[in-house]
Amino acid sequence: MATATYPPPPPYYRLYKKYLEDPSSAPEPPPPIEGTYVLFGNTYTTDDVLPSLEEQGVRQLYPKGPNVDFKKELRSLNRELQLHLLELADILIERPSQYARRVEEISLIFKNLHHLLNSLRPHQARATLIHILELQIQRRKQAVEDIKRYNVSSILEDFNFVLEGSVRHVSVQQFHIATALTSNELTS
């Protein structure tokens, strides 16, 4: 009895038989899911909204509203956390049986800190994207300047040295055309 190492492909691969000759022959992808959906038994939503602490059943320790001073509130919660940790250490030394309330208070402070930090994630993502785009622009400008700074013969010599003579068939005119196209693409 012979067995296959891998199972056969799913039957819908036949829908893509003529894709190389006619890319429009493939079926359209399914529309994106909107609203709620079930995955592995859990219900998820496509709305990427940070639930409030009240929705999670947690008491909020910092002021509500859109104009929260994150820096001030994070510092305040951090100080409160340090105080509660010291009190927990004292309680563990003096009255070890009464530590549960302090642990719950510390847990509440951590949840509030975590929620505050998560509410800063969109700002962090935006700042990171801006930084990445600025670096890309800087690198492209530097590449254009490098191309303008070097003359064609020194670039061809560098290519010949690196590729050990495999670029000898490239003429200077072809190289001028390639660098002009590259610099136009980089500046646009």
Crossing angle, helix 152-163 and helix 172-187, to 10 degrees?
100
At residue 98, the pLDDT reads 86
Evaluate whether residue 2 is within a structural domain. no
- What token pair was written down for 96? 């070890």
Q: What is the pLDDT of residue 167?
A: 44
Q: How many CA atoms lie within 13 A of 97 on its CB side?
A: 0
d(CA 171, CA 158): 15
- 126 assigned to some structural domain: no
User: Does 115 reside within a domain?
Assistant: no
Give the list of residues 6+ apart from residue 60 with CB closer than 8 angstroms, or none.
Answer: 52, 53, 54, 112, 115
The answer to whether 172 and 161 are in contact (CB under 8 A) is no
Q: What is the pLDDT of residue 10?
A: 83
Residue that has been written with the tokens 């990445």 in this structure: 132
74 within some domain: no
Answer whether residue 77 is part of any domain. no
Structural domain contains residue 143: yes
Per-residue pLDDT tens, the chain, 188 aa: give them: 567 688 888 888 888 888 888 888 888 888 888 888 898 998 888 888 888 899 889 999 998 888 889 999 999 999 999 999 999 999 999 998 888 999 999 999 999 999 999 999 999 999 999 999 999 999 999 988 887 777 665 666 666 665 554 444 555 555 555 556 555 554 55
Number of domains present in the structure of the chain: 2
Phi, psi of 135, deg, nearest 5: -65, -40
Task: Look at residue 6 in the predicted model and tell me its pLDDT.
Answer: 85
Please tell me the predicted confidence (pLDDT) of residue 139. 94
At 122, phi and psi to the nearest 5?
Answer: -60, -40
Alpha helices in the chain (DSSP H): 70-94, 100-119, 121-149, 152-163, 172-187
Mutual angle of helices 70-94 and 100-119, in 10-degree steps: 160
- How far is the C-alpha of 16 from the C-alpha of 78, rounded, in Å? 57
- Residue 176: which domain range? 137-187
* DSSP conformational letter for 151: -
